[in-house]
């Protein structure tokens, strides 16, 4: 499989611009800043490689528990946060269950305090009676005063 590149007019323009920038002299301040940035980057890369080699050379737990303490501390944080989350979810579930129980208890209390027997609500004729009942209720005979005294 051969690597075959197709060139476009944009590629040619890019190469010409790159060549022009490479040939152009840099101002003195820019050249110094670039040199300083390169030295800083090289030093940081060397420090990172050295730190990585030291970390790979020391086995886990051989540093007197310093590295294993951080790892263990992370586990405790995860366990503690998981326990708090679980406790919160249990509390929310318990609260919702309690609200449902209280709602059913209030409905039961309203049914039991009502003058109608509870099985009247299950009677299909009762719902028809409620639908046909006129808006202005006539008073019950017990509530009216009799003049025949």
pLDDT at 56: 62
pLDDT given for residue 101 in this prediction:
93
What is the spatial distance between Cα 16 and Cα 22, in angstroms, rounded to a whole number?
10
DSSP class of residue 5 equals -
The answer to whether residue 105 is domain-embedded is yes
CA distance 134 to 130: 9
Predicted pLDDT at 67: 47
Which domain, by its residues, includes 52?
28-58
Is there a domain that residue 52 lies in?
Answer: yes
pLDDT in tens, 95-139: 999 999 999 999 888 877 877 777 777 788 877 777 775 655 655
Residue 97 maps to a domain: yes
* Residue 80 reports pLDDT greater than 60: yes
The span from the CA of 12 to the CA of 143, in Å, is: 106
| 87 belongs to a structural domain | yes
Tell me if the pTM is above 0.85: no
- Is residue 72 scored above 50 in pLDDT? yes
pLDDT at 75 over 60: yes
Give 12-61 pLDDT, tens digit per residue: 888 888 888 778 787 788 778 878 888 888 888 888 877 766 666 665 55
The number of distinct structural domains making up the chain is 2
Residue 103 lies in a domain: yes
Residue at 19 is within a domain:
no
Break the chain down into helix, strand, coil percent, rounded to 5: 70, 0, 30
Question: For position 54, what pLDDT does the model report?
Answer: 62
Q: Is it the case that residue 143 has pLDDT exceeding 70?
A: no
pLDDT of residue 81: 92
């Amino acid at each position: 499989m051969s690597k075959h590149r197709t060139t476009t007019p944009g590629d040619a323009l890019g190469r010409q611009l790159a060549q022009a920038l490479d040939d152009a002299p840099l101002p003195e301040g820019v050249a110094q800043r670039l040199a300083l940035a390169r030295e800083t980057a090289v030093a940081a890369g060397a420090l990172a490689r050295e730190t990585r080699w030291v970390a790979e050379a020391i086995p886990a737990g051989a540093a007197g528990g310093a590295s294993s303490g951080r790892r263990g501390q992370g586990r405790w944080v995860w366990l503690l946060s998981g326990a708090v989350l679980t406790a919160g979810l249990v509390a929310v579930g318990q609260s919702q269950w309690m609200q449902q129980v209280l709602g059913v208890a209030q409905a039961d209390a309203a049914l039991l305090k009502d003058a109608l027997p509870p099985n009247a609500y299950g009677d299909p004729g009762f719902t028809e009676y409620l639908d046909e009942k006129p808006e202005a209720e006539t008073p019950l005979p017990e509530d009216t005063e009799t003049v025949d005294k």
